[in-house]
Amino acid sequence: MLNEQNMNIFTQSWRPDSKPDQLRGLVAMVHGYASESSWVPELTAVAVAKANFFVCALDIQGHGYSDGYAGHIPDIKPVVRDCMQFFDSARADHPKIPAFLEEWKRKLVEKSPNFLKYGKPSAATALEFLRVCEYIKKNCHKLEDPMLMVHGGNDTVCDPKSAMFVYKSAATEDKTLKIYDGMWHQLIGEPNERVELVFGNIISWIGERAEKEKANCNTMSIEK
């Protein structure tokens, strides 16, 4: 994808074998810092696609196969615009199914063959991260869309207390927070039975709301 800055942004998608009219929904994925859509997040994408969802993802600027200085994000706004540009196009191609946004954090990413090229974030990137955290802290009360948060209870990268703060502050009444005791930051790197538990919770949550949204759309069509 060519973005508004004339940068090449790598995108990819995963589609189940089912017919287009059998898709349950669209899931857009955003990876974390020093990650990419072709590493750990791809495992999640495949699992979600197998549950009959169309999944799409991109490498943000400076990551994976996208243009940009490695790991350099002095301004988050262009990254957000790239995500909106790609995900809006994906939704335009699938206008009749519910859409969800999923973000994956970082830990097993350190085993990625591309991890060493990122290193520590630049001062400008670190400062932007602080700005983003402060923005979230001040504005998370405006969140009105259904929200699922999954978090490892032993996460030493992102404090579970921060997830609890966002969860309690969000305005939406449809919100779920699951903190898994004994699990760490990148939940997919846990023993198989625990990974299956997390995936099961995520896919079940998305599936329930996808079916509810479809039912509401069908009802509106009948009323018209």
Determine the pLDDT at residue 155: 86
- Cβ within 8 Å of residue 217, ≥6 positions away: 96
DSSP state of 122: P
Q: What is the pLDDT of residues 17-74, one digit of tens each?
A: 888 788 999 999 999 888 899 877 888 899 999 999 999 999 999 999 999 999 999 9
**CA–CA distance, 103 with 28 (Å, rounded to integer):** 8
Average pLDDT over residues 7-18: 95
Rg of the Cα atoms in the chain:
18
The residue-averaged pLDDT of 170-198 equals 85
Q: What is the pTM of this model?
A: 0.88
102 or 6, higher pLDDT: 6
Q: Name the pLDDT band for 117 (thresholds 50, 70, 90).
A: low
Q: How far apart are CA 97 and CA 99, in angstroms?
A: 7
The CA distance from 93 to 166, in Å, is: 32
User: With 60 as the cut, is the pLDDT of residue 113 above it?
Assistant: no
Per-residue pLDDT reduced to its tens digit, 199-216: 899 999 999 999 998 888
Residues contacting residue 57 through CB under 8 Å, at least 6 positions apart: 11, 12, 13, 28, 29, 30, 31, 37, 41, 42, 45
Task: Tell me if 106 sits within 8 A of 157, measured CB to CB.
Answer: yes
Q: What is the pLDDT of residue 214?
A: 80
Q: What CATH class does 11-223 carry?
A: alpha beta
pLDDT at 221: 45
Segments making up each domain of the chain, as ranges: 11-223
Residue 196 to residues 157, 187, 189, 199, 202, Cα–Cα distance (Å) = 22, 10, 11, 5, 10
CA distance 13 to 56: 4
